Each structure stands twice: as structure tokens, then as C-alpha cells.
Amino acid sequence: MSTNIADIKKDVTRRMEGALEVLGGEFGGLRTGRAHIGLLEAVTVEAYGSDMPMNQVGNIGVPEPRLLTVQVWDKGLVSSVEKAIMDSGLGLNPSSDGQLVRVPIPALTEERRVELAKVAHKYAEDTRIAVRNVRRHAMDSLKQAEKDSEISKDEHHDYAGEIQELTDTFVGKIDELLANKEKDIKQV
């Protein structure tokens, strides 16, 4: 890795932002009792001999707070869409009306809310670990640069502080995302 601190910081920022994006996607797949299209976007449908994401076989909509709809483009895929939703493990029971699949979102039980909060915490902790691994990799690069006499001990100390500040910023963003998701989960 280059010992140019700007390149190291850019790489660290890019990789930490990637970890945050993954966390956002994982949080989007957690059912909170309110309908949002992210619930069904990750569901794959067997269509035309292969597995396709739901949004490639129909339009996903949210006409009401507790109702999702999928306007399936090919009438022959309606039963495949229903089956994919039932088999998704989200606990949803779709019904069809022509080419429109309605997916009511049941209210969450308290037990399920606690379970979802634990899953959200695990996702957040996994992301914190990923961010810290990025930091560790950058710190190792700085140590190697100092060892190879490419940077001085003082520069190493300054750069390490900057990398730590970036890490703290991203961990703060993770905590903020987690707090917002917990609020969504606990909202009745």
C-alpha cells in the first residue's frame, strides 16, 4: 500500500463507507411492522429458469403503511412471486388479485421486536468489527512505512491519530443507524 497519507485516508474512507452501505442494506431487510419496499427487493423469484430479484419481475409499491403490493409484469409469474414471498422467511402471507400481489404486513409481537433488536445489534457489531479491521490494516501500513523509514515517528503518530478520528466518526454513524433502527423496531 502506498505510504501517501492522502491515499491511505481515501482508501480507509472508501472501505468504511462500504461497510456502512452493507449495514444499511442489512437494516433495510429487517421487518419493522411498517411496509417498505426494501423488504421484498432482496427476495428472489424463480422466473424464466433462473432466480431474479423481485424488482425485476414487477413493480413493488407501498399503498398503505401496512401493505405492500407487487404489480407483476408477466401473469405467468404471479404464483412464483407468491411462493417466493412465502418462502422468504419474513413471515408474510401474500394473496393475488389478477397480476397484483398484495402482501399485508402483520404487527410485530413484543417477542419478535426483541429478536429483531438483537439481530440489528449483531449487524451493527459486525460492521464495527469491519471498520476496526480497516483501521488495523491502515495502522499496519503506517507501521511498515515507519519501519521502512518512509515516514518519521512523529508523522506516524499524527497519521495514526487521523485514522483513529475517521474510525471514531464511522463508529458514531453506525451507532446512529442502530439507534434509528431500534426506534423503528420498537415503534408500535
- The CATH number that applies at residue 119 is 1.10.132.20
Q: How confident is the model at residue 140 (pLDDT cuts 50, 70, 90)?
A: very high
Answer yes or no: is 117 within a domain.
Answer: yes
Structural domain includes residue 33: no
Strands 67-72 and 100-104: antiparallel
Whole-prediction pTM: 0.68
Q: How many CB atoms lie within 10 A of CB 84?
A: 23
Task: Identify the weakest region by mean pLDDT among 52-56, 94-98, 107-111.
Answer: 107-111
Q: What is the pLDDT of residue 31?
A: 65
Paired residues of 95 in beta bridges? 102
Give the integer Cα–Cα distance in Å for 50 and 48.
6
For residues 118 and 142, state if they share a domain.
yes
Positive or negative CA dihedral for 13, 144, 164, 161?
A: negative
- Indicate if 13 and 77 belong to the same structural domain: no
State the greatest distance between any 2 C-alpha atoms of the chain, in Å, as a whole number: 71
Query: Is residue 43 one of the residues assigned to a domain?
Result: yes
Owning domain of residue 11: 5-28+109-186
Same domain for 47 and 11: no
